[in-house]
Structure 1
Amino acid sequence: MKSIRLFTILFIAIQFTWAQEHPEFYNRPFVIFEGCDDIDDKERCYEIKLQELIGKNLNLRKVKDTLFFNAEKDTIVVHTGIMYNEKGAIDKEYSYVSTTVKDFSNNKMKYFLDSIPNVKPVLDDYDNGVSSRVQKLFGFLLDKTNDSIVPILGYTPEEVPFSYIEKVPVYKGSNKRLDNIELKKCMNEKVKKLVSENFNPNLASKLGLSPGVKRIFVMFKIDKKGNVTNIVARGPHKALEEEAIRVIKKIPKLKKPGYQRKKPVIVPYALPIIFRVNN
C-alpha cells in the first residue's frame, strides 16, 4: 500500500527587522538616507526620499507608457526591498524594486536600484556598521490626464503581503505583545502544525499517485476582521486540492488582523504542502 510522508514548508519571505524591534542594541537603529541627517524621523524621511526617486523613474517615457497601457487601476503599488551592507552600499543581488502590473517584472525595474544612493548604515552599540534590509511599500497615482505618475504619500493599499505587513496578524494562542518577528514565527509554526495534524495521509493509496515528491500550493487571505477567506489550492489532483482547502478552513479566526499604518488591511498568505509518496 502506498503511503505519504508529509512536510509543510511555509513559502513566505520573512524579513527580519531586528534593529527596529531591539533598538537598545544599536546606536543607529535605522539607515540614514541622503538628505535625512537633520530630520528627527529618519525612517519617514527615508520613505519620502525613496518614493520621490522611484517616482522619477516611473515617469521615464518608456516606463510610464508601459504602466499606462498595462495597469488595471489608476493606482499602482511598488514594493522595495533594499539590502545595505555594513558600509551602507546597496547589494543589488539581494535587492529589488517591483510591482504587480502585468508585463512589468522585477527584472524590468532592476535598474531603478542604480538611482538609489548609498546610506549611512545601521550601527551597533560599538559603532560597527551592520548590514540591514529595508522593505517599503509605496502607492502611485496614474494621472493620464496630466501624463504623470504621482506619488501618494502615506498610501495604504487594501492588501499588504505577509512579508511587508507592519503589524502581523495575531494567531490564536500567540501573545499579541510579542514583536513582529516572534508573531510571524508563531503564526508560521501554528499553521504548519495544523496542516501536519489534519492533512489526511491516506489519500495516496486512494488516488493511485505515482511515487515521488508532490506539492500542493495553497493561498488564502486574512481579512480586516481576522477571518481566513479566499482559500485556493493547486495540486496534482483535485482531491488533494480539496483536502488542502478543508484543512486550511480549520484555521480559527485570528485574534487580531494585520495592520499597516495603523489601519486594518487584508493580508495574503501562501504555503506549499509538500509530501513524498512511497511505494
Structure 2
Amino acid sequence: MIQYLIHSTVLALLLYGSYRIWLRKQTFFQWNRIWLLLVPVLSIALPFIHIDFGIDILPDTTAVKDLVNQPVYYDPLMDTNSLTLAEEVNNKIDLNWWLIIYVAGALVSLTCFILQRLKISVIRKASTLKFINNIPVYQIPRLENAFSVDGHIYMNSDLENKDFEIIFKHESVHVIQKHYLDLRFYVLLKIILWFHPMVYLLQKELKLIHEFIADQSCASHKENYTELLLNQTFNTKELSFANSFFNHSHLKNRIKMIHKPLSQKTKIFNYILIIPIALSSLIYTSCVTEPQEEEIIIIEEELSYEDKEALDEFPIEGQTKISKEQYEKFLEWLKINHPDMYPKETISEVSSYTTIDVTLPFSVVDEHPYPNTCDNEIDKKICTQEFISKHVADNFDYKGFNLAQGRYKITAQFKINANGQVVSIQTGAKTPELENEAKRVLKLLPKFVPGKHKGKDVGVFYALPIIFEVNK
C-alpha cells in the first residue's frame, strides 16, 4: 500500500507539474479541462496496471529473505515494554488508529459537503424559479454572487437587464457544458482522498479553467465584460461544488486570460507529454515486483496429515508446509546438529520401541505432557502451552542487559522427556546474555506429567520463540 501511495503521488505530481509549466498559460481550455480530469484518474489507475514488456528484472528479495530466515512457531510472545503473553495482547482492543483517522477525516469532509448543500436548499426556498432557454434560474433578492450548481443557476433578481444578460450567458455555459459533473467528481475525491493535497490543487485549477471557458464564450466585448467583473462587489463565501461568477482569487487570472491572444496551434502538441509520463509509470509498475507468498510456501499433496501436523511444530525456516524430500533433509540436519532431539524411529513404529528411544513433536502425540496445574483441564495441550507461555513471561528479565532500542527474538527449543523432565534446552539469540537468560527461565520449568503415544510414555519436542521490543 505504501509503495502504491508513493507511486500514485509521484505520478500526480509529474502530471500536475507538466500542466503548470507547459499547459496552464495556453488558451486550449477544453484540453486543459480534460487534462485536469485525467490527472486523478491516471494517478489512481496506472499503479494498478501491470503489462509484461518482456523486461527481466529481478525483484527485490530482501523481504523474502527476511521471512525465510524467521522460524515458524505456534505460540509467539509479543511485548512492547516488557515480555508479555500473546494471550494478554490479544485480550486488549487492537485499534487501527490510521483507519480511525482516515474515517474521521472522510466524515468531516462529507459533513462539510452536506452543510454546503443545506445552504443551497435555504437559498432555493427563498427564491423565485424561472426557465430561461430551458435552463432553471433561481432569482433571489440581494444575492451577492451569481453561481450555478447541478445545472441550476442562482442570480440576484435586482440586477440591471444588461448585467443580468451577461451573467446569465456566463453561467449558462457552465450548465450547458456540464461543468458541475467535473466538480461532483472532485467532491467525491475530496471525501475519499481528503488527506491528499493534490486533490485540492487540481480542483482549484479546474474551477479556474471553467471560468476561462465561460469568459471566452461570452466576452465578445472584452472591455465591457472586464468592467463588469471589476465593478461588482462580491463578499459571499465560495462553494466548492459551484461555479461562481465573481471570485476574488480568480479575478486577476481571468482578466489576463480574457485579453490574452489565442495560443499558436502548434502548442497543442504539448499535450503529448501525457504519453511518456503514462508509459514511464507502466514500465515502472511492470518492472517492480513485490514478493509473493507462494515463493516461500510449498504445499505437497503426498504429505500425510500426521506429517503436516508434525511439521507445524518443527523450526523449519520460512515454510509452514514442505515436501517429503525437505522433511528428510531436515531430519538429517537435526540428527547432526541436535542428535538428542532426533526422533529415533518413525511415528508408525513407536509401539515397538522403548520409551527412552522415542522423541515426538508436541502436536503428534496422543496425550500431551502437562504440568500438575492442568490435571483438571480437559484440553491438556492448550493448558500446557498457556502454562509455558506464562512461565516465560513471568520470569524472563532482559532489563539488566543494556539493550539498544529495537525488536529482539530468541529461538528456544527443548524436550520434555519420558520422565517428564525438561532437558536438551537449545536457544539462539543475538547476544549470549539473552541466550543464557532464556535457558535460565526454561530450566525453572517444573516436572511435567510425560506425554503418551499409543499407550507408552514418550519424549516430546517443544519449540517457541521469545519476542520483545525495547523502547527507550
- TM-score range (shorter-chain normalised) is 0.3 to 0.5
TM value normalised by structure 2: 0.29
Highest Rg: 1 or 2? 2
Higher relative contact order (CA 8 A, sep 6+): 1
Higher helix share: 2
